Amino acid sequence: MRIIDYYNYIATAACAFIGAAAVLIYKKGKNADLDKDKKAAEISANAARVILLVIMLIAAAVRLIGLGSVPAGLQQDEASLGYDAFAIAKYGVDRNGFPYPIYPITWGCGGGSPLMIYINVLTIKLFGTGVVKLRLLPAILGIATVYIFYLILKEITLSYKKSLFGAAFLAICPWHIILSRWSLDSNIMPFTLGLSVYLFILGIKTGKTYIYCLSAASYAVCMYSYGSATIVVPVHLLLISIYCLRKKIISIKQLVMAVLTFVIVFAPLLVFYAVNYLGLPEIVTDSFSFNKFTASRSGEVFLRFDSTLPAALYENIRQLLITLTIGDNDEMLCHFIPGYATLFEFTFPITFLGIFLGVFLGKKDIVNKTSENIASANKESAEDTSKIGSVTDEDKRLAMDAVFVTLLISCVLLAIGIRSDVSRMVMIFLPLIYFLVKGVSFIWDRKNTFAYAVMAVILFAAVLFVKDYFVGFNERAENIFMPGYGEAAKRAYEIAGDEKEIYSTYENLSAPFVLALYYTDYDPVKFADTVVYKDETDEFRVAESFGNFRFGLPEDYADYVGKDAVLILSGSELEAIDGVPDCTVENFGRYSVVYGSGE
């Protein structure tokens, strides 16, 4: 076992012990630290700004340094997103030939949500294509998410210390660092979700209708971010709206206005779903398209109501519990490093403590709020309180807490109902980190030294993670990100042009055609006209050829060298061309381009 494996056992035991000790102190009524001068314990606004700046610089460093080389290469889904963005930006059609699709169907069944693609359309128009440019969007939005999370916590906890801890944890969290450094469509969801939650919390604080409408618009944009949002967001909004109506946090008029705003922003996607699931005909114009999927993923994603349901439910619940605790070592290596899970393997006892406090003990207001902060909140919201009736600041604090409770419930329901993985469950981790902060806050208010011990444990693990990520991640994930292949495909196309055949290996590759498309800036109209898929009806259509590219080597591929063909070979396949005369080999790491010396 590695150092981190031993460390996880020790740290888990320490976190469980500290959490239990804090509960025991609370039960016995020995909350000595609660009686201390909280004003002295709380840091100043100026100090908080300096600390926050340091946190943001750390967040930026671990998300931006070596962005084009760690991970090395491109994963097929990020190449797919990048290519459709390129095609729309430069040619006005996606790779399936549809002009400005509301929802580019990418692989045929989706797999690339529109928000990420269309934001990349803008960046490509401004800056062009490239690995760093493709990954810059999730990296920058990842950094922004740290700041938004700080603002959320500041509104709820009324404490600089606790808000800074939450921001610092998100800044060094393994899940969020890895997510921010490559361009899967779900990887911008923490930002869009965090922004939506923050605006809703501002609505609760101010009582202003236009802020609720802005939040509704932001939640609707979430629906364009990733498929799982189409389940989580409506359930979450339904639950929190019912709660806020009952507590008189929001009026019926305000709710109606927010719902109308949501529907207006969501309307184009609603039409797309109607075309695909309600039988409406495709709508294709020169300016926009509502086109149909070529296959459905419902069977691959959702549970089936047949004899397999009990076993599938059990497996999903088991998977959820593993994700909520020690993390799943069977996840794809593009999402985690073994030993570090998502939120570190040892934090779950304190996270569960926070969930218990938020779900079951929220009305007791266990997390202490200083009289100074309460007075400040009273002053800021006196005018808005009069508008909503007898709603107190404590009612608002509890409603803000309920935002995360209902979001967690919605994410749990999703996880039980689908075949989940880290990307599909992406919306669950912000509420989990919130409840971790809530658990640490409870400990902080019982015994300061216990909270600092937890922070020290997290900090040491974060240092180990950063070292292991930047030193060893490429080696672990090379079969996923396929380093060198894209460069080899680009060079092969430069040599062959559109005249000579290009034969590509399939060794240690997944859907190499889409990397070839992205790296060569291939004409999407030409691609749509010439592509031959292995199976047109497959959920994920994979091309076996397009133009002069052929994916898969002929058995006698060595005989093709120098005969109007260019080869892309893996290292193990180079042996077959030893001794071939007039042969040039250009190496790109694990892959090489082979062609006749006269070409």
| CA atoms of 535 and 467, how far apart (whole Å) | 43
The answer to whether the Cα torsion of 589, 471, 337, 335 is positive or negative is negative
In a domain? residue 509:
yes
pLDDT computed for residue 211 by the predictor: 98
Same domain for 86 and 232, yes or no, is yes
Q: Does 306 map to a domain?
A: no
Last residue of a domain, one of 442, 477, 512: 477
Q: Which domain holds residue 133?
A: 3-33+42-63+72-296+330-477
Four-residue CA torsion sign, 432, 435, 436, 437: positive
Query: Would residue 536 count as lying in a domain?
Result: yes
Q: Specify whether 427 is located in the same domain as 492.
A: no
How many other CB atoms are found less than 10 A from the CB of residue 508? 16
Provide the β-strand partners of residue 545.
532, 550
Six token digits for residue 194: 């965090």
Among 447, 477, 507, where does a domain finish?
477
Q: Is 320 a domain residue?
A: no
Instruction: Give kind and range of the element (H or E) at residue 231.
Output: helix 229-246
384/211 Cα distance (integer angstroms)? 13
Please give the helix or strand (H or E) that residue 204 lies within, else none.
helix 189-206
Mean pLDDT by 10 residues, the chain (599 residues): 88 96 85 51 89 98 96 95 97 96 91 91 93 96 98 94 97 96 94 98 96 98 92 96 96 97 97 93 95 76 73 83 77 84 93 88 45 44 47 90 96 85 88 96 92 96 96 92 97 94 96 97 96 92 96 90 89 88 91 85
493 in the same domain as 471: no
The reply to whether 243 falls in a domain is yes
Measured at the alpha carbon of residue 427, what is the angle toward residues 424 and 433, in degrees to the nearest 5? 130
Residue 324 has a pLDDT of 81
- 273 and 177 in a common domain: yes
Q: Model pTM?
A: 0.92
Whether the bond into 104 is cis, omega within 30 of 0: no
Please give the distance of CA 457 from its chain centroid, rounded to a whole number.
25
Residues 271 and 153 in one domain: yes
Q: Are 511 and 521 a contacting pair, CB within 8 Å?
A: no
The answer to whether residue 319 is domain-embedded is no
- The structural domain count of the chain equals 2
Residues 199 and 261 in one domain: yes
Q: Are 445 and 524 found together in one domain?
A: no
Are the C-beta atoms of 507 and 570 separated by less than 8 Å? yes
Please say which residue of 450, 477, 504 terminates a domain. Answer: 477
Asked if residue 335 belongs to a domain, the reply is yes
Q: What are phi and psi of 437, to 5 degrees?
A: -60, -40
pLDDT (0 to 100) of residue 388:
44
Residues 464 and 502 grouped into a single domain:
no
| Predicted pLDDT at 11 | 96
Three-state DSSP state, 593: strand
Phi/psi of residue 34, each to 5°?
-70, -25
Angle formed at CA 349 by CA 347 and CA 353, multiple of 5 degrees: 115
Residues 452 and 567 placed together within one structural domain of the fold:
no
Distance in angstroms (rounded) separating the CA atoms of residues 492 and 149: 46
Judge if 414 and 498 occupy the same domain. no
Within-domain flag for 316 = no
Residues 348, 410, single domain; the answer is yes
- What distance lies between CA 9 and its chain's CA centroid? 28
Same domain, 384 and 246: yes
What are the distances in angstroms from CA 353 to CA 140, 320, 440, 454?
A: 32, 17, 9, 14
